[in-house]
Amino acid sequence: MKLQYHLIAFLLLFLCMATEIVAQHWQADAGLIKPFEANVTVSSGKNVQAITDGKPQTYWESNNPLPFHYVAEKRMNFFLNNENFRSIPNQGFVQAAFDGNPNTKSKIETGIFRLQIIHPQALKLITLKADVTDTLEITVQYKEAPPQHLVYLPTQRFQLINFRLQTPHHVSTILLKSHQSFDLYELASLQKYPVEFVQLDFGRVQKIGWIASRHLNSKSVQKIRIYTSLDGNQWQFLLNLNPQAIPYLQIPLKKEIDARFVKIVFTLNLKDYQKANLWEFAVYDRYGPYGKPPKVKVSINDFEHAFGINTIWGWGYSVYSDRLKPGTGPGKFRMLTSQLRTYHRLDWDMKNPQHLPNYQQMADGKGTPVNQWLNWDREYGYWKTFDYHIDATLSFKEDNFPDTLWKNPFEESFVFGQKFGQHFGKNDHPLLDKIEIGNEPWNYSGVVYQKILAGMSKGIHSVSNVKILPCAVQAYKPASDNHDYISKYLSQDNTRWIAGLNTHIYSYVFRKDGKRVAVMPEDPRSAVWSMANLSRYRDINMPGKKIYVTEFGYDSGGGGENCTHSECLSEQQQAIFGVRMAMILWRLGADNFYWYYFANVNYDSFLHNRSGLCGSYKTGFRKKLAFSAFEHLYQTLGPYHFYKIVREDNEAYAYLFKNFSTGKEILMVWRPVKKVSVTPVWISLPISLKISKITPLLGDDKISVKVQYKTTWINLNGVPVFVEF
């Protein structure tokens, strides 16, 4: 009996230790790429730690060099360098007047003091403090201009006074003269515009390839320059920053630079009380905050089961889809996808989690507690007749279903999950293939959402085999304005039943002028590459699970509607960039990737409501070029899997796809350029191909090809081409 107790105790101890070990393996920030660690020093000011605290909302602020802080700074006060001048009486006698301390003094018994600039300089101002009983005349002599006469009055005694000089003329001599002896407390001069700086020391030489900076300043700062150095003594100019840029900017360098030090120099205006600010600054290697892309793997899904589109109940017609004409709604888009993602609004089903809908009554035509007319079975059932696979995101957010409605989040969501999963995810005949628990509930309490995800996913899993996904998150930017960082929503306790990670990716960046614009997916700043962060997070915390990109896309004109907001592309760019982005997401390991949106939204031009593959209801859902491009992609690559990279660099992308049923392979090649209609250039591929057919994604241009010495050359503009061989 004692032996049995010992064995039980040992097993319990082992289980506790095992649980602790597993818990230790969970890393909430596993996806993050940390910038180079640096020791930060500043010229002056306070809150230095804010520069590298990862929070772009906090900032370092310098002192104000003017009116008088510059006096004690050797880097700004020209007269703190004894080699710049000589004085009469001799310099040793008046040393206290040039020590940067306005509280020490030199006695000028004769009432006359002359200062000679050894090498005449264009000084911007002089600062003087004296104790005088008579007017002190100041004569500034210039090398190429008449002298300038200034006065320091007895009423100004013991005060620091600034005098502006006649720049750009070169000062040769400064003469101070009074009829009485006087005490000279300080004589200082500013030769150049005042500067403040921040310096980063990495401790060793690093390969710098990327700078991230938020450096918003008032008009007090006229320019910001960045320098690098190997030793802290010799500095090389790197680049300029716009002092008035509002956002946190990501700045990839054209090539990596070896440096141990980086210095950010702020040049201020020649006005009193002007200061410099730096909100956030980070330095990375060439991969930046995304890190090195994951290794390529053969895709599990073929393209037919990988690419999808986002839609909604009624397909924009505001009636059940089974009332639509043939060739519209779900019938129209079947020619380019078999995967649908839809927004299943929770506030359409129930007013609060304490009064759950009866989905069987809904299916019988009695609606939900909120909408008596609603029957999801009718809508989803009709979509299924087209052999669609449906992903429904249970959409809730603070403005339509606030987190305060959940009184007992885990328990209530568990019961709801059981009811929802049992009805829509029946193992013998499921209406849904995937269920997302939340779309973008980014203003929800993280604590509440985590309990909802844990309860709802457990409830669904207990009655159904349907795949369960969490809400959309990202793993590279903790201080995101969207509040969508992964650790707020996912934890070790609530990810057991989910199939993988879910994210929304759009290729938008901020320019230096503060405008947000769309960039091509190959741009190193594009969030496409944040797939690497999610992959690292997944590999450490959830090995073996998948990554789903449930929204991606671009806005453009076309389909009978204009596009005027700053993120807009041309119709042709939307089509080309969209296809290229889909291919890159596939290459980066996305199991599914859904285009947002099936059609434009019938409102004015603003972000995302011009992202459709068609125009809106107002234009009769007129097709855009993107529709044709994805249709061509679907018809060409449907049964093919992503297989390998042939080339992926600044000159060309070439991806190889394989049909495992037939053994056939297709190559897709494009140039990563922003302007689609550029002059064709010859692109080389390190393989010898016997090409049977080559087809551009859009248009019918004839593509020139030649094969030389185990290299295939293709003459391309910006349009991708399919190469069959």
State the pLDDT confidence band at 710, using cuts at 50, 70 and 90.
confident
Domain with CATH 3.20.20.80 in the chain: 303-637
Q: Exposed e or buried b for every residue in 309-319, given b needs 16+ CB within 10 A?
A: bbbbbebbeee
Task: Give the three-class secondary structure for 148.
Answer: strand
What Cα–Cα distance (Å) separates residue 565 from each residue in 250, 282, 521, 641? 22, 30, 19, 36
| Residue 587 pLDDT exceeds 80 | yes
State the pLDDT confidence band at 89, using cuts at 50, 70 and 90.
low
| Residue 511 pLDDT exceeds 90 | no
The rounded distance, in Å, linking the Cα atoms of 222 and 194 is: 10
Burial class (CB in 10 A: 0-12, 13-18, 19+), 290: buried
Which residue carries 């290229």 as its tokens?
580
Question: For residue 487, which phi and psi values (nearest 5 degrees)?
Answer: -70, -15
Question: For residue 417, which phi and psi values (nearest 5 degrees)?
Answer: -60, -40
**For position 12, what pLDDT does the model report?**
41
Report pLDDT digits (tens) over 600-642: 998 888 888 999 999 999 999 999 999 999 999 999 999 999 9
Q: Of 624, 654, 663, give the one whose Cα is nearest residue 721.
A: 654
Report pLDDT digits (tens) over 24-75: 589 999 999 999 999 999 999 999 999 999 999 999 999 999 999 999 999 9
The rounded distance, in Å, linking the Cα atoms of 155 and 176 is: 17
Report pLDDT digits (tens) over 201-258: 999 999 999 999 999 998 999 999 999 999 999 999 999 999 999 999 999 999 999 9
Q: What is the mean pLDDT of residues 579-600?
A: 97
* Tokens found for residue 468: 């369960």
What Cα–Cα distance (Å) separates residue 125 from each residue in 135, 147, 174? 20, 14, 12
* Tokens found for residue 68: 């008088």
CATH code of the domain occupying 69-190: 2.60.120.260
**For position 559, what pLDDT does the model report?**
93
Domain with CATH 2.60.40 in the chain: 642-724
**For position 140, what pLDDT does the model report?**
97
State the pLDDT confidence band at 427, using cuts at 50, 70 and 90.
confident
The rounded distance, in Å, linking the Cα atoms of 654 and 640 is: 15
State the pLDDT confidence band at 707, using cuts at 50, 70 and 90.
confident
* Structural Rg of the chain based on CA atoms: 34
| Residue 1 pLDDT exceeds 80 | no
Strand ranges for 407-526 from DSSP E = 434-437, 467-469, 500-506, 508-510, 516-518
The rounded distance, in Å, linking the Cα atoms of 719 and 702 is: 12
**For position 272, what pLDDT does the model report?**
96
Task: Give the three-class secondary structure for 119.
Answer: strand
Domain with CATH 2.60.120.260 in the chain: 39-66+194-290, 69-190
Between 2.60.40, 1.10.287, 3.90.70, 3.30.1490, what CATH number should domain 642-724 receive? 2.60.40
| Residue 461 pLDDT exceeds 90 | yes
Q: Of 392, 321, 310, give the one whose Cα is nearest residue 601.
A: 310
Q: What is the mean pLDDT of residues 12-27?
A: 52
The architecture in CATH of the region 39-66+194-290 reads Sandwich (2.60)
- Which residues on neighbouring strands pair with residue 590, listed in sequence order? 547
CATH class of 303-637: alpha beta
**For position 433, what pLDDT does the model report?**
97
Determine contact, residues 116/90, Cβ cutoff 8 Å: no
**For position 675, what pLDDT does the model report?**
87
**For position 115, what pLDDT does the model report?**
94
Decide the pairing of beta strands 665-670 and 721-724: antiparallel
